[in-house]
Structure formats: structure tokens, C-alpha cells
A and B are shown apart, each in its own frame.
Chain A
Amino acid sequence: MTATLATPRRAPAASAGARRRVVALVVAVVAVLLAVLLSLAFGSRPVTVDQVVEGITTWLRGETPTDIGAIAVQSRIPRTVVALLAGSALALSGALMQAITRNPLADPGILGVNTGAALAVVIGIAFFGLSSAAGYLVLALIGAFVTAFFVYFVGSVGPGGTTPIKLALAGAATTAALSSLVAAILLPRQAVMDEFRYWQVGNVGRADWGSLGVVLPVLVIGTIVALLCASALNALALGDDVAVGLGVHVGRIRVVAAVAGVGLCAAVTAIAGPIGFVGLMVPHAVRLVAGTDQRWLLPLSALGGAVLLTLADTIGRVIGSPGEVEAGIITAFLGAPVLIAIARRTRMKAL
């Protein structure tokens, strides 16, 4: 049944759309490579192209370079990888949530998922003496899931279903309540506070290979599940009744996609802290270029998210030199205007 959906009539418009999507894919891949190069080359210490090449080749051979520029390049490799993976996971997560809720504003930051993860981690550090990356991850996942479902529930009460405003407000209220709880737990515990303060701002530069290794399985499984859900999500976009008619298990696909979406952003939050707006911006930008077909939207969003977060991190390092402006700040600044644009374009009640 989905096969007939997958092969629409070869109208000229459709083939033009297909060409556009292929072009978009090529552009996205090139952009990822460019972003990686920029991320390696720029930072508080500018390096030459030769040093970038030397840094990468010595890293691939497992050697430590002697040249200081090449060493700088090598030290930028982990954060570049984290930015790529985190960005793609956040964008995928946003795209999934938007597809499930049929709501343009679904984003891990707006839904309060980040704060939920943060609260769970704080509870873990403060009450259970937690200090391992694996422990953080498990708690962040639990906190993210509970919060996401709570916010979605509150935002969907009533005859209208989830509307952008209800969802955004439920998220804002929950975020406020949870951050008050975070403050209440932290205040009597200065030691935890010191450990936690960096959590307030999302940053890819803190993560190392060890913590990345812990969350990598979640990221990989989440991405695969997300991509497998694509055609079912296409059917879901036609409305629940049509989707059922097309042989889609609506309830099951919602739960699977939601778990994948929340899992992806919770994993990112566990290693990089709260990074908002990536999940909001990227799918919308991709939709403008490549249309609403989830089989293209999801992979292109993943690539776009990787580009966006890697560039945001690079920009943050350049303008914050010799320190850095955290990537989470940059995405918030880029994201708010996009949110305004979306809010202006959409009819508020419908969707």
C-alpha cells in the first residue's frame, strides 16, 4: 500500500521536485564536509590548510603531530564529531516530533525536554552521588521522556488537539516549574552547583570520546528507527483515518517515532547540555527546499542539523576568541527569529 504512495505519477512537477531534492542532498553533503573543514580550521588559533591536512593525517595514523597548528586541529576533532552527531540528532528529533504532533513548533527545547533531562541529572548528582557519563545518560533519558509526555499530554487536552500555543505554553510552564525545582535542589549544595553550572548552557566542547561512546548506541538506533519510520509518517501526515486505511498502525508508529525522537534529544542533552532551536529550525528550512516527503525530509534534516550545529560551534569559537561563545547561545540567537517567522506564517488555531 505504501508502495503506491512511494511511486507517484511522473508528472513534470514531480520530477522537478525530485531533481531539486537530489540537488539538495548533494548540497547538504558538501555543506557537511565544508562545515567540518571550517570547524577544524577556525578557532581561537587560526591555522593553515597544510596544518589542517597534517592534523587529520597524523590523527588517522594515530600519531601526535609536532606542529602546534596541527595539534590545535587535532584537539578540535572530538568537538567537531560531537557537533555533527548532536546536530543531526537534534534536527531529526525535531522533525520527528513535528511529524507526530503535526505541529510546526515541536522542538525539544520548547517542549521542556532539556529541562526535564537536566532536573533528572541534578537529582542524580545531588541525591545519588552520580558522576558517570552512563549514569547521566540514563537519568537524562528518563527525565526527558517523562517531561516530553507530560508536556504533550497537557498541550493536547481539549477538543482542538495540540495547537502550537497550547504546546508552547505547556512547555514554558513546565520548564519554569522544573528550573525552579533544579534551583531548589542545587541551592543547598554548592558542590553540585559548581558541577552543574555548565549545564545551564549547551556546549559541544565539553564532550569527549568516552561520553560520546556511551550515547552513541542511542544516537545510532534512534537515527535508524527514525529513518525507518519515514514512509509511515508520510501516511500519518494525511490524517489518522487515511493512515489507518493505508495499513499503518497509527498508535504504534506514534509511540515508536516519539520514543526515537525523545531518545535522540535526551542523548544529546546528556553529553552537551540544553541546545535549543536546532530541532525547530532545520526541518522547517529543509521543508522549504525539499518539500514534505519524510523520506527526504528526515535524512536532509539530519545533514542540515549537523551543518548548523557545527557552524554554530565554529562561529562561537571565532567570535568568543580567545574563549568561546557556547553553541547553545548561538542557536538560540539564530532560532528566535526563525520561531517568529514560523509564528507569523502559520494560522494559530489550525494545524
Chain B
Amino acid sequence: MAALLDSLPAVSDADVERVRAGRRRRSRRRTVALVVLSVLAVALFAAMLMLGNTIYPVSDVLAVLRGEDVSGASFAVGTLRLPRALTAVLAGAAFGVAGSTFQTMLRNPLASPDVIGITSGASAAAVLSIVVLKWSGTATMGLSLAVGILTALVIYLAARGGDSTGGRLILIGIGVGAMLDSVVAYLLLKAAVWDLAVATRWMTGSLNGSRMEDILPLAIAVVVLVPIVLFLARDLGALELGDSWATALGVRVDRTRVLLVVAAVALACVATATTGPIAFVAFLAGPIAARIVGPGSSVVLPAALTGACLVLAADLLGQFAFDTKFPVGVITGILGAPYLIYLLVRTSRRGGSA
């Protein structure tokens, strides 16, 4: 051991100082990024509350939030816009955390729950429960959650064994997702209540008609599960190095992974049961967040903020940028798919097999 240490090049104070400076720089960048993302999220949230058919000034919005009765604004802001904005923030954060957790754990930016069919499962369950069986909100959440976890389990079991499980898992997930999407399409076709709002919600995700009383399960899920994922984020970083490294660093690999998968799937499923599978938010939030905060730090919190910003911004675009009001999922779908293709081309160019 001593011989080994002797053979290493001497570490000078200058080297130590350089490493420390680098660490400080990265930590400063992370702090700045988190602050910027938070400010952006708050600004978008405020815009959601202020904009609409009637534009209310900040003072009115604040008055409504304090619970005062402002004529007109109380209904528009308090009953219509606030639930919508809250749903956007919570769903965005849930999708963002779920996506980045999957991506980090499976070490593949393509392995997010919306690409590999888990949100399709939750969506199919939600359609079955709401449109066909006419179940209540809580039962819908339960069924979505159960089917989402079952979907994840099926994909995992089907992909197990042999080498290169990551690629196979994605492939199988796409196939299972295609099957479940056809279930959604079928249930909507048969339900005889075909209306646009319902259909787009369960196919691409939408915030239309968000109500305060529907938010509770999602809020509970985000408040309980995001801290759990944050707590496990350190282990998640170790998992990214590979199972054997993680074990060597003292991570209980299996337990950590099961906890993380359940938390991430639950977040994705509850968000899907509330807003429908908002296309590509889970897939996009992690990579964007990673690019903003830079390498070497956990992306869980930045991904949550990025997801929230994405959903808020896309919904604002969908509501106000065009003559027709488009649901949020249509916007994220059109914006997200080119990024997926770009990512695919870039990975391929480097010679990776995605």
C-alpha cells in the first residue's frame, strides 16, 4: 500500500487548490442555475395567473391569492387559472423527476417513462376508469398507479437476462407502449362520449378543465415522493457508475433501485392520471436540466424545475400563441420530437448504439 502511494505523483498544493476551485465553480454554477430556474418558474406561474381573456394586474392576483374577494378576478384567477397553473407546476415537476430518475438509473437518455410505455399504461388505466367505468378520482389514481407499476414490471421482466439490457428494455418498452396506446384509442372510440377534450387529454395530455379538488393526489405524490428521490439522489449518482462501482461505494444497489423505480413510476402515473401523458416532458426535462446545471451534480431538483417550466411555458404557448387554443401536450409533442431525433442522430454519429 505504501509502495503504491509512493508511486503516485506527488500532489502539490496548487493541484489541490485547482480541484477546490473547480468544485467551487461547479457548485456556484449549480446554485445560479437553480435560482434562475426557480425565478423562471415563478415568472411563468405568475404569467399563467395574470394572462387570459382579461389580463389582471399583479395587485389583483395577489389579492385573490390572499383570499380577498376581487370582482371578476376571484373567479377567473382563483377558480380557473390557479388550479391550472398549480397542476402545470406539479405535473411538470413529477414528470421531470420521474424522467430524470429513469434516465440516470438506466444510464440512457432515451429510457424515460413516456418513451418506454409506462405513461401509456397509466393513461390506458385512467381512460378505462374515468371514461368507461366512471370511477372516482381516488380509484382512478389507484388503478393508474397499479397498471403503471405492472407495466414497468412487465417491461423489466421481459427485458431481463442476457447482455445489453438497456437497449432491449427500450425496444420492448416501445412495443408495449404501442400496444397500450392502441388500447387508449380503442377505449376512446368505443366509449361513445367522443369529445375532443377527453380524447386529447388521454392521448397527448392537457391542462384544460383542471380543478382544485383533482390536484390533491398529485400534490401529495409530489410532496412525499420528490423528497424521497432527492434523498436517494446521492445513491443515484453512484448507480450511474454501474452496479459494481455503486456496490463498492456502499450503495445497497437493489434496495435503492426498487425504491427509486417505485417512486419514479408513481410520480409519472399520478401525473398521467391527472393531466394525461403530457408528451415528452419526462423525456426532455432531465437532459435540459443536466445541460443547465453542468456535469457532476444531481439533476433531480433541476429536472423538477425544468419540467415545471416546460409545462408552464408550453401551456402558455398553447393558450395564447395561436388563433386556436392547443392543449399543452400538442405543443410539447411538436417541440419534443425534433429533440429526440436530434439526440438520436447525435448519439449515432458518435458511434454509440443509442
| Residues B158 and A332 in contact, CB atoms below 8 Å apart | no
B189 within 8 A of A: yes
Q: Does B348 contact A (CB under 8 A)?
A: yes
* Interfacial chain A residues near B188, Cβ < 8 Å: 200
Interface of chain A residues 145 through 196 with chain B (CB within 8 A): 154-155, 157-160, 163-166, 168-170, 172-174, 176-177, 179-181, 183-184, 187-188, 190, 193
In the complex, A176 Cα to B177 Cα: how many Å? Answer: 12
Q: A47 in the interface, Cβ–Cβ < 8 Å?
A: no
CB pair B340–A184 under 8 Å, yes or no, is no
Stretch binding the partner chain, chosen from B12-20, B37-45, B57-65, B161-169: B161-169
Chain A residue nearest to B168 in the complex (CB): A343
Q: Which residue of B lies closest to A186 (CB)?
A: B196
How many residues of A are in contact with the other chain, CB < 8 A? 52
A169 touches B170 (CB 8 A): yes
A105 adjacent to chain B (CB < 8 Å): yes
**Chain B residues, CB < 8 A from A183:** 200, 203-204, 326-327, 329-330, 333
Contact B178 A276 (CB under 8 A): yes
Count how many chain B residues have C-beta atoms less than 8 Å from C-beta atoms of the other chain.
57
- Bound complex: CA A154 to CA B342 (Å): 9
Interface string of B89-111 (1 = CB under 8 A from A): 00000000000000000000010
> B185 near A187 (CB under 8 angstroms)?
no
Asked if A349 is at the interface (CB within 8 A of a chain B CB), the reply is yes
CB neighbours of A168 from chain B (8 A): 170-171, 174
Could you give, for residues 277-305 of chain A, a 1 whenever the CB lies within 8 Å of some chain B CB and a 0 otherwise? 10000000000000000000000000000
- Are B348's CB and A172's CB within 8 A? no
Partner of B334, one of A180, A276, A329: A180
In contact, B345 and A349 (Cβ under 8 angstroms): no
- By a CB distance below 8 angstroms, the chain A residues around B331 are 180
- Tell me if B279 is interfacial: C-beta within 8 Å of chain A: yes
Instruction: Indicate if the CB atoms of B341 and A170 lie closer than 8 Å.
Output: yes
Within 8 Å of chain B (Cβ to Cβ): is A13?
no
A336 to B185, alpha carbons, bound, how many Å?
16
Residue with the highest number of chain A CB atoms closer than 10 Å, among B334, B347, B349: B334
Q: Please measure, in the bound complex, the distance between the C-alpha atom of A193 and the C-alpha atom of B337, giving whole angstroms.
A: 23
- Nearest residue (CB) in B for A158 is B348
**Binary interface profile of B, 324-354, with partner A (CB < 8 Å = 1, else 0)?**
1011011101101110110011011111111
The answer to whether the Cβ of A209 comes within 8 Å of any Cβ in the partner chain is: no
Interface segment out of the listed A84-92, A127-135, A217-225, A320-328: A320-328
The docked-state distance in angstroms from the alpha carbon of A102 to that of B341 is 22
Interface residues of B in 169-216 (CB under 8 A from A): 170-172, 174-179, 182-183, 185-186, 188-190, 194, 196, 199-200, 203-204
Complex CA distance for A159 and B352, rounded to whole angstroms: 9
Contacts of B174 in A (CB 8 A): 110, 168-169, 172
**Does B115 count as interface, using CB distance less than 8 angstroms?**
yes
Choose among B186, B194, B348 the residue that contacts A160 (Cβ–Cβ < 8 A).
Answer: B348
The residue that A169 contacts in the complex, of B182, B185, B279, B354, with Cβ under 8 A, is B354
Residues of chain B contacted by A329 (CB below 8 angstroms): 182-183, 185-186
Q: Within the complex, which residue of A180, A193, A201 is in contact with B182, where a contact is CB–CB below 8 Å?
A: A201
Instruction: Decide: A188 and B338 in contact? CB cutoff 8 A.
Output: no
* B121 CB → nearest A CB, Å: 12
A317–B251 Cα distance when bound, in Å, is 54
Partner of A180, one of B178, B204, B344: B204
Q: A176 CA to B194 CA in the complex, in Å? A: 21
A94 at the interface (CB under 8 A from B): no
8 more contacts with CB within 8 A, not counting A176-B336, A344-B158, are A176-B280, A184-B334, A197-B199, A201-B185, A328-B182, A332-B178, A335-B178, A343-B175
Q: Residues of B with Cβ closer than 8 Å to A?
A: 110, 115, 158-159, 161-162, 164, 167-168, 170-172, 174-179, 182-183, 185-186, 188-190, 194, 196, 199-200, 203-204, 279-280, 323-324, 326-327, 329-331, 333-334, 336-338, 340-341, 344-345, 347-354
Please provide the 8 A-B residue pairs with the shortest distance between their CB atoms, ordered closest to farther.
A180-B333, A177-B337, A158-B348, A339-B175, A336-B179, A173-B340, A188-B324, A332-B182
